[in-house]
A and B are shown apart, each in its own frame.
Chain A
Amino acid sequence: MGERLDHLRRQVCTGLAFAALFGGGAVLALTVFPLVSLLTPAGPTRWARNQRLVHWLFRGYVWSLRRLGVIEVTVDGADRLRAATGVMIVANHPTLLDVVLLMGLVPRSQCIVKGALWDSPYLGRLVRGTGYIRNDLEPEALLGACRDSMARGESLIIFPEGTRTTPGEPPRFRRGFANIATMLEADIQLVTIICRPLTLVKGEPWWMVPSRRPRFHVQVGERLDASQWMGYKYRSLAARKLVRQLEEYYMECLADG
């Protein structure tokens, strides 16, 4: 009985949490973001302020989820992640909450977002206000935007899988992140996200909360130096090797995690 009650309670809290995320997001989009826009000229300064705003919001959001007992979160190496400015942060992508967790840990984060969101009524304001990078830019423009962003000291968060992991399958990485790293000679900070029992996976409705409270474990891993992918005869070979190397790395991390 106690277990069932706990399950129901977490189901209700998860629903509330989603309502808070979307409702709260909408309210903020209509109040705080326009206020920042009013007080800050367009461009990098405004983006930086909005990025910090998103950081504190997500941080508060994760804190509330923990307080409500919906999830548990342990982070190994949070300081190193916070210190990883101006680099690419690469992570696996098991759940819907990953980006919220990471942005709550990194004060100024940048990401590459579906171009269609620019026309969305409330997320559009968010992605424009934070200066996030559209994924439908021409390759040169996309690389340029990533270069500028990291040069400003933002952490560029990338999930190389492109979408959430299919449960039970090893992560399959696309090559885009490796192209950016090899073209821009950027360092990579690796992060592994483990969620047990799994929740909020691809294709599962939010109210399917697992029988036990999900535990998120964020492990800040190695920092890879860009020199590893420099000095190849062809950049394309370095990018391919990096993809294979990280697929193997995550297979190992997820196997013993």
Chain B
Amino acid sequence: MSDIHALSGAYAVDALDDVERAGFERHLATCPTCRDEVASLEEAASLLIESASPLSAPDTLRERVMAEIALFRPLPPLTGQAAPAPVVRGDHGHAAPEARDLAPVVPLRRRRVPALAAAAAVVAALGLGATVVQPLVDRGRDGQPVITESGVQRVLQAPDARTQTYTIKGGARAVVTVSRELGQAVLRAEGLGDLPPGMVYELWLQHDERMVAAGFLPAGADATVLLTGDASTATAIGITTEPEGGSPQPSLDTAIRFPLTKV
């Protein structure tokens, strides 16, 4: 644990894997020394491109960029203490009851439903009042937080973002936000239990009958993760427990699956 400071350099050049990155960002939230160091190392890293032979951007890029930015309003600045809690919008900016009561938890690929999935089937639908997802913005680095959360933010603020909340046995919850347009999904897991050493929660996107690995959740803590891979046509998101490093195929007996609403 004391060694975690040593990750500052690797973090500054994005050389951490997803699990390490999430862990280090939690550390950053509480360690001003590391935040300062990361900031200074990012300054250093930003000089590296100067050492490369320069390329000019293709002409088409400028047009595309300028056309695209015209479609988006810049986000408001963060205003410190009373910053409005970022509300994950459901359909049209309502903070409210996207809270999808419970989605059926079904085993992947219609297999038998053993242990965890069976347990998950017991899931009670909590009447979740509102899907206000907490401080997604400010995690990690105070001052300039959004860099680290940017992919997440972009999904959460996408005009077509849809948020669904699923309750999992034992009080755990998963809040899934999908932007079909961006083709990306964000999962916020709350209260998933600790795993034995050497095991990780792996995420999956289901496309038809195929499960595609989509990253990992840091174990044991609440976490917000941008799934890797294309979510534009995914039909479900799955969470399984796998040996560290992940598995090529999901271990079905640990699967929890969250069906996504159609586009």
Answer yes or no: do A and B interact.
no
Residues of A within 8 A of B (CB): none
